[in-house]
Amino acid sequence: MLVDGLPVLVELVLAIFCLIDCIQSDEGSVRNLPKWAWILLILLFPIVGAIAWLVAGRPTGYLPARTTGYPEYERDRPRRSTAPDDDPEFLRELGRVNTEHERTLQQWEADLARREEELRRREPGEQA
Q: What is the pLDDT of residues 14-32, one digit of tens each?
A: 999 989 988 888 888 888 8
Does any domain span residue 67? no
- Kind and range of the H or E element at 38? helix 35-44
pTM: 0.45
Does any domain span residue 53? yes
- Residues 49, 92, single domain; the answer is no
CA–CA dist 22, 34 (Å, integer): 10
Q: CA of 16: how far to CAs of 34, 55, 78, in Å?
A: 19, 16, 43
Does any domain span residue 90? yes
Does any domain span residue 13? yes
24 is in which domain, residue-wise?
A: 7-60
Does any domain span residue 72? no
Q: For the chain, how many structural domains are there in total?
A: 2
The tens digit of pLDDT for each residue in 36-60 reads 898 999 899 888 998 898 888 887 7
Does any domain span residue 87? yes
CA–CA dist 11, 92 (Å, integer): 63
